[in-house]
């Protein structure tokens, strides 16, 4: 009675029109807004530029000069210290928080919501809160340090501690993400397993190692990768807290790209750093896909 | 899960300590926002505002650009999630239900774009927008924000549609429904939770964004609350901390309220990707 429907279900494999209609807008958007600029940044990284004007072909010349410059390796060092430092705090903190919440009989879910609050705040807001907390003259933290006999110094203005403080603030903001991921993963641990090991006389660490760990290691890994991507591309928090300073000690690859985009300089070196960020992200993203088994097509 | 008393004690202490660490900075911001300008810079810092005043909040609402900034924040957040859903829900449905020769290529393209970080596109996007005269264009901002959300949202929708048995589709089509009718009448109502999760996550992401707007629409009439907030911090001469804290809190209220109302979906959206299952 309704032949078009029959054609619709039977003929999908051969008919091009339906997929174009269903996928078209999304694909068009991604081609225009994501893939086209990606091609442009690759082209820019291979060009000679004067400010925002392309004045010639440079081949791999920009890469050679950027990758052999000291500032680039300073940025690389900062990026990696920031990444590993933040992960080293948030992963154990988030995991133990999730484990502790699991032992609570009542109130765990509302506490989880409360603890998740920092993650919902914008980096701009988190940056402002902490900029004020860490204010060397009027902030409560420097007051606390003074009252126990420590010299707070310049806090975020001190080249020796600025990166560490940036890591602490990042951890405050992002550990709830780990907590939520780990709480979700812990729900996959069958209850009988705990009882079995309890009969065997296992303590906390052996339970963590033998019962819990096999069920959460993949999620912990994928969470670490997702956070790595976020830390490496994060700009706003650094901008508000330190502006990349003092003396460039908190400037990362991504922060440099952001600053360069609005500084009156040639954009090709910053295009090279963009490509570096892009490649590192692709590698982390591929590792993430492997780990989560998220394959499409 | 059974636990020893010692473990319960340690758990309680951990949770209490973390709660204080989480609540402390937020509470300090609240306290500061209620202080007078003079009270903010007393030393030692006073734990409670004396006297407490709403003057900073009044000043925030009276700021001449506040309503424009609020409007832009709302506009960008709502419009970009609407655009995201409009293109992603059909694509997610098709990804789940259709097979066609180039499907693998299309899915790979979507996947690849999800791994391209926005920061790598800052320079070229500025370059392109400048060339076509679209800097400070609100539509450009909405399209950019939507494009960032689309890959994840398609994948999310595909998973939700996958959870609907294909038999249901076939049954409605036997009854004479077209594919579009199956999509709107059967699938859409069933994947509502997924749409809600994607929407909550997307609105929060766009609302909280600073970089996109600051980079491509820095014009005073195009700014969002986030951009205005950061600009105040840079304005080091005139900075009043009680005002900055009040502004930060006001700019967070809509998002925190949305989070509290829709936290179930927010958490579902967060955990959807990373937990293997």
Residue of A nearest to B253 (CA): A121
- For residue range B141-162, what is the model confidence (pLDDT) as tens digits? 999 999 999 999 999 899 899 9
Is residue B175 a part of any domain in this protein?
yes
Residue B59 vs residue A103, higher pLDDT: B59
What range defines the domain where residue B226 resides? 64-240+253-274
Which neighbouring-strand residues pair with A48? A56
Give the closest of A34, A97, A198 to B18, CB-based. A97
Is residue B44 a part of any domain in this protein?
no
A201 pLDDT band, cuts 50/70/90, is low
Contact predicate A135/A165, CB 8 Å: no
pLDDT at A12: 43
- For residue range B157-200, what is the model confidence (pLDDT) as tens digits? 998 999 889 888 888 888 888 888 888 889 999 999 899 999 99
* Total domains, chain B: 1
Q: Which residues of A touch B170 (CB under 8 A)?
A: 9
Give the closest of B8, B94, B99 to A23, CB-based. B94
- For residue range B90-123, what is the model confidence (pLDDT) as tens digits? 999 999 988 888 888 899 899 899 899 999 999 8
- For residue range B61-92, what is the model confidence (pLDDT) as tens digits? 998 899 999 999 999 999 999 999 999 999 99
Residue of B nearest to A106 (CA): B12
**Gap from A250 CA to chain B (nearest CA, Å):** 17
Is residue B120 a part of any domain in this protein?
yes
- Chain A 252-291, CB below 8 Å of chain B: which residues? 254, 257-258, 260-262, 267, 270-271, 274-275, 277-278, 281-282, 285-286, 289, 291
Q: What is the largest CA-CA distance in chain A?
A: 88
pLDDT at A295: 53
A252 pLDDT band, cuts 50/70/90, is very high
Is residue B177 a part of any domain in this protein?
yes
- Percentage of chain B beyond pLDDT 90 is 59
How high is the ipTM of this complex? 0.93
Mean pLDDT of the A251-273 span: 88
Peptide bond into B215 cis (omega under 30): no
Interface mutation target, options B8, B10, B16, B25, chain A, most CBs of A under 10 Å: B25
At the topology level, CATH places domain A70-292 in MetI-like fold (1.10.3720)
Interchain proximity B170–A9, CB inside 8 Å? yes
Single out the residue of A256, A217, A115, A132 nearest to residue A172, CA to CA: A115
Q: Which residues of B touch A172 (CB under 8 A)?
A: 21-22, 25
pLDDT at A10: 42
Choose the weakest-confidence range: A132-136, A193-197, B181-185. Answer: A193-197
Contact predicate B26/A129, CB 8 Å: yes
Mean pLDDT of the A13-30 span: 80
pLDDT at A2: 39
Is residue B231 a part of any domain in this protein?
yes
Residue A254 has pLDDT above 50, yes or no: yes
Residue A279 vs residue B170, higher pLDDT: A279
Q: Which residues of A touch B137 (CB under 8 A)?
A: none
Interchain proximity A122–B255, CB inside 8 Å? yes
Q: Which residues of B touch A123 (CB under 8 A)?
A: 208, 210
Question: Domain with B157 in it: what CATH number?
Answer: 1.10.3720.10
Domain ranges of chain A: 70-292
Tell me the two tokens of residue A57: 């072909």
Q: Alpha-carbon distance A156 to A135, whole Å?
A: 8
């Amino acid at each position: 009675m309704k032949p078009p429907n029959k054609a619709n279900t039977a003929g999908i494999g051969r008919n091009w029109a339906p997929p174009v209609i269903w996928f078209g807008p999304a694909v068009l958007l991604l081609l225009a807004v994501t893939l086209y600029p990606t091609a442009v940044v690759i082209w820019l990284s291979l060009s000679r530029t004067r400010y925002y004007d392309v004045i010639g072909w440079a081949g791999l010349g920009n890469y050679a000069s950027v990758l052999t410059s000291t500032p680039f390796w300073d940025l690389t060092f900062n990026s990696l210290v920031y990444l590993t430092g933040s992960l080293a705090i948030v992963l154990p903190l988030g995991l133990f928080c999730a484990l502790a919440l699991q032992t609570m009989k009542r109130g765990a879910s509302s506490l989880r919501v409360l603890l998740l609050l920092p993650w919902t705040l914008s980096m701009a807001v988190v940056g402002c809160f902490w900029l004020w907390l860490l204010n060397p003259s009027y902030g409560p933290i420097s007051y606390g340090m003074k009252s126990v006999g420590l010299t707070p110094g310049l806090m975020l203005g001190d080249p020796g501690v600025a990166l560490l403080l940036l890591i602490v603030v990042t951890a405050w903001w992002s550990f709830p993400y780990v907590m939520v991921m780990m709480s979700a993963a812990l729900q996959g641990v069958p209850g009988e397993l705990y009882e079995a090991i309890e009969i065997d006389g296992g303590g906390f660490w052996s339970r963590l190692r033998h019962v819990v760990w096999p069920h959460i290691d993949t999620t912990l890994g994928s969470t670490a990768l997702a956070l790595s991507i976020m830390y490496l591309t994060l700009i706003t928090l650094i901008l508000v807290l330190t502006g990349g300073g003092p003396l460039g000690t908190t400037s990362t690859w991504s922060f440099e790209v952001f600053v360069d985009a609005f500084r009156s300089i040639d954009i090709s070196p910053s295009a090279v750093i963009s490509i570096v960020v892009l490649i590192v992200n692709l590698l982390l993203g591929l590792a993430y896909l492997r780990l989560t088994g998220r394959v499409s097509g | 899960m059974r636990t020893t008393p010692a473990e319960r004690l340690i758990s309680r202490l951990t949770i209490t300590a973390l709660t204080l660490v989480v609540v402390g900075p937020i509470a300090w911001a609240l306290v500061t926002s209620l202080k007078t300008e003079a009270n903010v810079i007393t030393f030692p810092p006073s734990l409670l505002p004396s006297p407490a005043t709403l003057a900073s909040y009044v000043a925030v609402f009276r700021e001449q650009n506040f309503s424009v900034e609020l409007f832009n924040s709302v506009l960008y957040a709502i419009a970009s999630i609407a655009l995201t859903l409009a293109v992603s829900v059909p694509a997610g449905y098709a990804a789940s239900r259709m097979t066609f020769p180039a499907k693998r290529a299309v899915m790979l393209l979507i996947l690849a774009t999800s791994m391209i970080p926005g920061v790598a596109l800052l320079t070229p996007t500025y370059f392109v927008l400048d060339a076509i005269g679209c800097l400070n264009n609100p539509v450009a901002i909405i399209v950019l924000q939507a494009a960032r959300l689309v890959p994840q949202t398609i994948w999310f929708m595909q998973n939700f549609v996958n959870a609907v048995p294909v038999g249901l589709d076939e049954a409605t089509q036997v009854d004479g429904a077209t594919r579009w009718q199956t999509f709107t009448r059967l699938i859409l109502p069933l994947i509502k939770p997924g749409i809600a999760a994607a929407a909550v996550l997307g609105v929060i992401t766009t609302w909280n964004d600073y970089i996109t707007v600051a980079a491509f629409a820095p014009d005073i009439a195009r700014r969002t609350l986030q951009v205005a907030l950061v600009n105040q911090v840079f304005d080091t001469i005139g900075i009043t901390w009680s005002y900055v804290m009040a502004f930060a809190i006001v700019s967070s209220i809509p998002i925190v309220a949305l989070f509290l109302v829709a936290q179930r979906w927010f958490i579902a959206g967060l955990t959807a990707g990373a937990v293997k299952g």
